[in-house]
Structure 1
Amino acid sequence: MNSLPPLIWLQAFEAAARTLSFTAAGHELGVTQAAISQRIRLLEDRLGQKLFVRHPRSLSLTPAGQAWLPSIHDAFARLQEGTSEVFGHTSGQPVTLRATPVIQQAWLAPRLVAFHRQVPQVAIRTVSAIWPDDFGPEGTDIEIRYGRGDWSGVEMRSLGAESLLPVCSPALADKLPTPEALAGHTLIHAVGFGSGWAAWLAQAEVAEVEQHCFALTCDNQVMTLALAAQGGGVALTHRRLLQQRADLVAPFDLPLPSDEGFWLVRPSRRHVSDEAQKLWQWLCHDLS
């Protein structure tokens, strides 16, 4: 290959690979889904390899696409760094912050309101993420991630130690005097977490209760807590997320310590704007 593919093709690939959607990539880049599809096809023709597997209603990366994506991310990050170093930060650009919806509601929202009251001239854009693969340094100034804090290439601050508690509506809690009373009720599961109901029940020494329970499974904690608040069952959630919620109570004071937790994260190899630095310092202020 004598030359690099056109930049707009690379932009289309990066956006589509990150969102796994030609439509979402088109919205992000301000073009149609058909334009993204055409650019990807031209790029694949130039490279001589397929980058995406087209499913009926979704996309996935081929092994070649997965292998190439980190290089594309690094190239765009370096381009952004170089531009900022030479020309400075573009005024008016918002600080982008990515987090899961549940931590946005429970932890981030009150802090953003307080920050905005103090520094209203700083524009902020929040981006929601559900799965671990949704996260990554590209395109964001700050993230709130969940895990063990074993990521490379980032600066991290822990939001604090975490523990898990069963939670439910007050009416249902009145029917649960002991963990054994969970038998016959619905356990609400959130996928993607290292610790779950099996671990909590084992710690409570009632592991056998799970086989006598019904189950509802969700891909995010916003939904598990909504179901629990509506009386749909008992959810297992982080003690931090229970704060400031009058519609949920913990029927048992038996927290399960977790080796995973929430972390404030930002790329370690990126120019930091004054606005992003102000927000970072504000969010770090009350962390241990």
Structure 2
Amino acid sequence: MSALPPLHWLQAFEASARTLSFTAAGQELSVTQAAISQRIRLLEDRLGQALFVRHPRSLSLTPAGQAWLPSVQEAFARLEEGTLEVFGTTSEGQVTLRTTPALQHYWLAPRLARFHATHRDISVRVVSAIWSADFGAQGADMEIRYGRGDWGNVESISLGKESLIPVCSSSLAERLASPGDLAGQTLLHAAGFASGWPAWLSLVDQAALSRQCHSLVCDNLSMVISLAEQGVGVALVHQRLLTGRRSLVAPFATALPVDEGFWLCRPKRQQGQAAHGLWTWLLADREDAERSVITPAST
């Protein structure tokens, strides 16, 4: 008997381990949650070890599952690369691009609208990733990631320098003449970024001010921006994401430079003509992000 389990068992394991959900894995693979659960059980019986810890409402990987997952994902990536090398892409006019919901909404959408207007023969499929673990070699022709560009498994090109600036509704901005006026206000945070309010407050010599402010933390920038638009508080947001946001005002002139940024990435493999066309177009268009950013006290 071959040591390699059936492919559909491996697919069930990889999807379940990535999403930590049998239900989400089933949706991704177009089968029921029960089918995924059965395949995982058969796989564990075949291997003689548990791969998941079943909690009442969630999953976690066992040490064996954690150790095995990179090998399985690498095998799938290599299989995909080999298929492309020999047969090329199966849908020459389709491109899959993966990035965060916030970047999709606030930066990518207007660019895709312009791209679509002049490249109607190319079908673009946009998929969402929220956490860093959602990104990877599988399932996308290219990605827009946030970080320092130090990913060894992909080709990465910076979309430009980044800075963070406080923004809020126009009604709230009227009460903020100087950074000291933030006392008593709610500071809106997005989790997962290296730089945030402590760094900005230190930059304007108001490091102790955070103890006089309320805090509201979200796991995504889209929610943070939405709360700022509704007047809930002041958000510290990447200037790149604020182009054209007339519902927000920057009450202070000081922006915080950061050493992280957005990067256009793609696997180190042969690309189809459509994917290369979108890649080239986005790189040519990236200068547009530097021309028009929100400015202090604009509406």
Q: CA separation of 1:56/1:94 partners in 2, compared to 1, >3 Å: closer, same or farther? A: farther
What is aligned with 1:8? 8
Query: Contact (CA 8 Å) 2:158, 2:261: kept in 1 or not?
Result: yes
What is aligned with 1:38? 38
* Cα distance in 2 for residues equivalent to 1:173 and 1:44: 58
Q: Per-residue deviation at 1:2?
A: 4.2
Q: Per-residue deviation at 1:3?
A: 2.2
Q: Per-residue deviation at 1:165?
A: 0.7
What is aligned with 1:137? 137
List aligned pairs for 1:1-288, cutoff 5 A: 2-91=2-91, 94-268=94-268, 270-287=269-286
* Cα distance in 1 for residues equivalent to 2:87 and 2:225: 46
* Cα distance in 1 for residues equivalent to 2:99 and 2:194: 18
* Cα distance in 2 for residues equivalent to 1:71 and 1:122: 33
SS class of match (2:171)? helix
* Cα distance in 2 for residues equivalent to 1:271 and 1:41: 37
SS class of match (1:4)? coil
Normalised by the length of structure 2, the TM-score is: 0.92
Q: Per-residue deviation at 1:85?
A: 2.4
* Cα distance in 2 for residues equivalent to 1:59 and 1:264: 32
Unaligned runs of 5+ in 2: 288-299
Q: Per-residue deviation at 1:18?
A: 1.8
Q: What are the superposed Cα offsets for residues 51-106 of structure 1, whole Å, 9 maximum, x if unpaired?
A: 12222222222222222112111111121122222223213673111111111112
Q: Per-residue deviation at 1:22?
A: 1.0
Query: Contact (CA 8 Å) 1:92, 1:123: kept in 2 or not?
Result: no
* Cα distance in 2 for residues equivalent to 1:71 and 1:94: 28
* Cα distance in 2 for residues equivalent to 1:51 and 1:60: 9
SS class of match (1:66)? helix
Unaligned runs of 5+ in 1: none
SS class of match (1:285)? helix
Q: What are the superposed Cα offsets for residues 101-126 of structure 1, whole Å, 9 maximum, x if unpaired?
A: 11111211111111111111211111
Q: Per-residue deviation at 1:16?
A: 1.2
* Cα distance in 1 for residues equivalent to 2:65 and 2:243: 42
SS class of match (2:285)? coil
* Cα distance in 2 for residues equivalent to 1:164 and 1:204: 13
Query: Identity over the aligned pairs, expressed in percent?
Result: 65
- Alignment-mate amino acid for residue 203 of structure 1: L
Q: What are the superposed Cα offsets for residues 13-59 of structure 1, whole Å, 9 maximum, x if unpaired?
A: 11111222111111111110000011011111111222122222222
* Cα distance in 2 for residues equivalent to 1:208 and 1:138: 45
Q: CA separation of 1:119/1:131 partners in 2, compared to 1, >3 Å: closer, same or farther? A: same
- Alignment-mate amino acid for residue 240 of structure 1: R
Query: Contact (CA 8 Å) 1:159, 1:287: kept in 2 or not?
Result: yes
Query: Contact (CA 8 Å) 2:92, 2:274: kept in 1 or not?
Result: no
SS class of match (1:252)? coil
Q: CA separation of 1:75/1:63 partners in 2, compared to 1, >3 Å: closer, same or farther? A: same
Query: Contact (CA 8 Å) 2:92, 2:272: kept in 1 or not?
Result: no
Q: What are the superposed Cα offsets for residues 129-162 of structure 1, whole Å, 9 maximum, x if unpaired?
A: 1111111121111111011111111001101000
Query: Contact (CA 8 Å) 2:168, 2:229: kept in 1 or not?
Result: yes
Query: Contact (CA 8 Å) 1:158, 1:287: kept in 2 or not?
Result: no
Where has structure 1 moved over 4 Å in runs of 4 or more?
Answer: none
What's the C-alpha RMSD, in Å, of the aligned pairs? Answer: 1.4
Q: How many residues align?
A: 287
Query: Contact (CA 8 Å) 1:101, 1:128: kept in 2 or not?
Result: yes
